Amino acid sequence: MRNQLKFRSIFPVVLSMFLLLAGIQNLYAQNAKKNKIRLKADYVKIMDGDAYLDIKVTTKIKKKNVKVANIALTVYNEFEDEKIKLGTSTTDIKGESIFIIKNVDHIKADSTNTYTLKVSFTGNDAYKKASKRISFKDAEIAAKLISKDSLNYISATLIDKSTDSVITGEALVVQVQRLFSPLRIGKEFNNTDENGTIIVPIQEGIPGVDGNLIIEVVLDDSDTYGTLKTLINAPIGIPIVDESSYDQRTMWSPRDKTPIFILIFTNVFIIGIWGVLLYLITNLFKISKSKI
Amino acid sequence: MKNFDTLIKDLAPKKFGKRGVIWIGFLLIIIIAGIIAYIDQIIKGQVVTNMRDYALWGIYISNFVFFVATSFVGSVTVAILRLTNNTWRTPLVRIAEIIALAAIIMAGITIMIDMARPDRILNLFIHARLQSPITWDVIIIPTYIVISLLLLYFPLLPDFAILKKYFKTKQPKLSKRYGFLSLNWIGSKAQKLLQEKSIKIIAFMIIPVGILLQTIDAWLFSTTYRIGWDSTNFAPYFISGAFVAGVGALVTVIYVVRRFKKLEHYITGSHFDKMGKLLALACLIYLYFNINEYLIPAFTAKKGEAVHLETLFSGSYATLFWFVTIVGLIIPILVLLFKKGRKPLPMFFIGLIVVIGSWWKRFVIVTPTLLHPFLPIQGVPESWHHYFPSLHEWLITVATLAMALLIITLLVRYLPVIPIQRTADEQGLLKIDKNTKS
């Protein structure tokens, strides 16, 4: 009886403790702090190619910037009070996403011919909502390869498309595409003149596959125009002679390209030695059959 | 001079006594412990070893090289002494052939133990790259096993016939087995002709194949550009080292067999004296190659080589390096220069330390080089800079050594360790055809 009483009083206490703790847990979960994310978006336009937003998402953990993967982003075109959805994108394992602007002509610009795009994240269990707005004007680089007195030059003109006028005083970079990072040629900064043009000489002797050089003219991260890039195929390089021994029979080739002398020596050895061994084994049979 | 019956009685295999049974039991316990450790290694993978990205060849490979080296005794003692008509070899050759066979079989098994996925062993043949010394090793080891087996078997034929008759009434079952192995040997002219011709061919063949085996073993290392291995001296260095390991093992085993089988009348002090001279010659040649291997790089060393040599001469491997050089090589030479040092008991101890020195020598060749990688990896754990075998590695390695000893023990138990027919012929006793008539 005494024990029963004890049990009756202990049970509600235990139950209430459990519920209280569970409640605290829930309370704690609801109040768990969400991290802030930082959005970075750059407008990039490749002449005769795509225009896209280069988006990077990071967060700060223990005072260090950490890339955030799997963040669902929506891109809008903001025009006056209108907000037109252009599409969605998700960050990859490096916290990066490329959002290709499919129909540039359908994007609406304001009265100053400025386009405004907004990259928006609605938030999730781990991160607060965030957005980033970028504005740019449409421009283009018209570049060509010219030859004068046996010397080669790159001529490039920067044009504001909205007004169809040349842009002066902007720094363009001229570089040759290489395997790891581009090789800059000419001066560090080539500012466009009053005609919106730069002329950069290309030094001789730059090697390229079959003598072809891919030369880039870049307006890098302009506040007004974003990043513009044009590619010129210039057959003015020194052809790279392939000195690879890939197709040859070498000691370091795969098995189907074994040097002939190795094939001959090894096979002669195997056949020779094992031939003698087989002869010796047959001698054992001969001995067992021999009666005289 | 003994008569033929006494000769057979002396040389015919005898049952083991209590000590023999205990010895086999002891070897079996070690082997079982090794097999358990190996099964665990198969299940958990090579993480149970202390081999990591730096020391990726550990004790298994040094043990493999030791076995390959020891098997060279078949080429040296048997073939060379046979071809040079040194008649004193007769009571020693069979034991040498037995050691060679046991060692090369265990070399083959040890290399499989080092493979993380032994189930893929056929790939070594199916996808073989003939440019790789590993493929040459895969070819040469089975070849050497077969040659060693034939070198042991052909001279045994008349002895099997003798044993068939000897055990006919005492142990009919054993007699039947010897009869089967004797391949109907009656000592006919045709049989003798075939046997002698075959033995001569094997004796000729085993020398280049044995040298090739040691050379390929050396090339496994010297074709890798690694500091301490990248040496044109490596093949003769390995061959001379194998000469030392093989003869050292032979001296040790011969002493034990002589003592426990009471063969003092057949394996005399004179044999030990001659073996001692042979071992001294082997050690001197090996010392010469050692000097070449270490002294010249010490003069011309680039930074990496200098670090490696410093590790050996005065660094973490100095104790082991000087042990194998002084105790395993120089002291045996000094002792063997004196006639008293070539007596059976001192020779046994010299043989033993030469074998122990030879085993650790392979460890010194393999490990320190690996700890100085050609392309160092950034931020590796501190433990990767050092290597000492794990318990699994020790258990498995000691088990392979025990297996080699077990093979030797069983062959010594069931085969006449001294050729009966040949000894009888040399002593002018009865002819085989009279004795084998059933």
B386 part of a folded domain = no
Non-local (6+) Cβ contacts of A130 within 8 A are: A36, A37, A38, A39, A120, A121, A123
pLDDT-derived band at A125 (thresholds 50, 70, 90) equals: confident
pLDDT-derived band at B429 (thresholds 50, 70, 90) equals: low
One domain, residues A128 and A144: no
Residue A4: per-residue pLDDT: 54
Which CATH number covers residue A84? Answer: 2.60.40.10
Mutate to test the interface with B, among A248, A251, A287 (most CBs of B within 10 A): A287
A203 part of a folded domain = yes
Whole-model pTM? 0.74
Q: Please write the tens of the pLDDT for every residue from B116-166.
A: 889 998 998 899 999 999 999 999 999 999 999 999 999 999 999 999 999
Has residue A14 got a pLDDT over 90?
Answer: no
The per-residue pLDDT of chain B, averaged, comes to 92
Has residue A28 got a pLDDT over 60?
Answer: no
One domain, residues A106 and A184: no
Non-local (6+) Cβ contacts of A186 within 8 A are: A154, A174, A200, A201
| DSSP per-residue string spanning B377-398 | PTT--GGGG-----HHHHHHHH
Contact A290 B157 (CB under 8 A): no
Residue A214: alpha-carbon gap to chain centroid:
19
One domain, residues A118 and A106: yes
Q: Which residue among A219, A239, A259 closes a domain?
A: A239
A42 part of a folded domain = yes
Contact B198 A283 (CB under 8 A): yes
Q: Which residue among A85, A103, A137 closes a domain?
A: A137
B385 part of a folded domain = no
Q: Which domain holds residue A120?
A: 37-137
In this structure, the number of other CB atoms found within 10 A of the CB of residue A251 comes to 13
Q: Average of pLDDT values for A238-266?
A: 91
In B277-312, which positions are buried (b, 16+ CB within 10 angstroms) versus exposed (e)? ebbbebbbbbbebbeebeeebeeeeeeebeebbebb
B362 part of a folded domain = yes
Has residue B432 got a pLDDT over 50?
Answer: no
Q: How far apart are CA B188 and CA B181, in angstroms?
A: 17
Residue A32: per-residue pLDDT: 62
Residue A236: per-residue pLDDT: 92
Residue A145's Cβ-count burial label (10 Å; 0-12, 13-18, 19+) is: middle
Q: How far apart are CA A183 and CA A206, in angstroms?
A: 10
CA torsion, ordered B136, B141, B144, B149, to nearest 10 deg: -160
B193 touches chain A (CB under 8 A): no
Q: Spell out the SS3 assignment of B115-127.
A: CCCHHHCCHHHHC
215-244 of B, contacting A, C-beta below 8 A? none
Which CATH number covers residue B333? Answer: 1.20.1630.10
pLDDT-derived band at B241 (thresholds 50, 70, 90) equals: very high
One domain, residues A123 and A104: yes
A277 touches chain B (CB under 8 A): yes
* Relative orientation angle of helices B391-414 and B90-113, to the nearest 10 degrees: 150
One domain, residues A117 and A149: no
A280 touches chain B (CB under 8 A): yes
A18: its two tokens: 């459990």
Mutate to test the interface with B, among A258, A262, A273 (most CBs of B within 10 A): A273
Q: Please write the tens of the pLDDT for every residue from B294-303.
A: 998 888 888 8
Non-local (6+) Cβ contacts of B19 within 8 A are: B260
pLDDT-derived band at B378 (thresholds 50, 70, 90) equals: confident
A256 part of a folded domain = no
198-257 of A, contacting B, C-beta below 8 A? 250-255
B435 part of a folded domain = no
Has residue A60 got a pLDDT over 80?
Answer: yes
Residue A226's Cβ-count burial label (10 Å; 0-12, 13-18, 19+) is: buried
Q: Which domain holds residue B243?
A: 4-373+391-422
Q: Please write the tens of the pLDDT for every residue from A17-26.
A: 665 655 555 4
Q: How far apart are CA B234 and CA B256, in angstroms?
A: 33
Number of separate domains in chain B: 1
B139 touches chain A (CB under 8 A): yes
Q: Average of pLDDT values for A72-87?
A: 90
Q: Average of pLDDT values for B351-372?
A: 94
A181 touches chain B (CB under 8 A): no
Q: Average of pLDDT values for B255-283?
A: 94
Q: Average of pLDDT values for A33-42?
A: 90
B432 part of a folded domain = no
Number of separate domains in chain A: 2
Q: How far apart are CA B267 and CA B269, in angstroms?
A: 7
Has residue A271 got a pLDDT over 90?
Answer: yes
Nearest to B104 by CA among B245, B315, B290: B245
Q: How far is CA B31 from CA A71, A165, A230, B67, in A?
A: 59, 89, 73, 17
B116 part of a folded domain = yes
| DSSP per-residue string spanning B73-106 | HIIIIIIIHHHTT-GGGHHHHHHHHHHHHHHHHH
Strand partners, B117: none
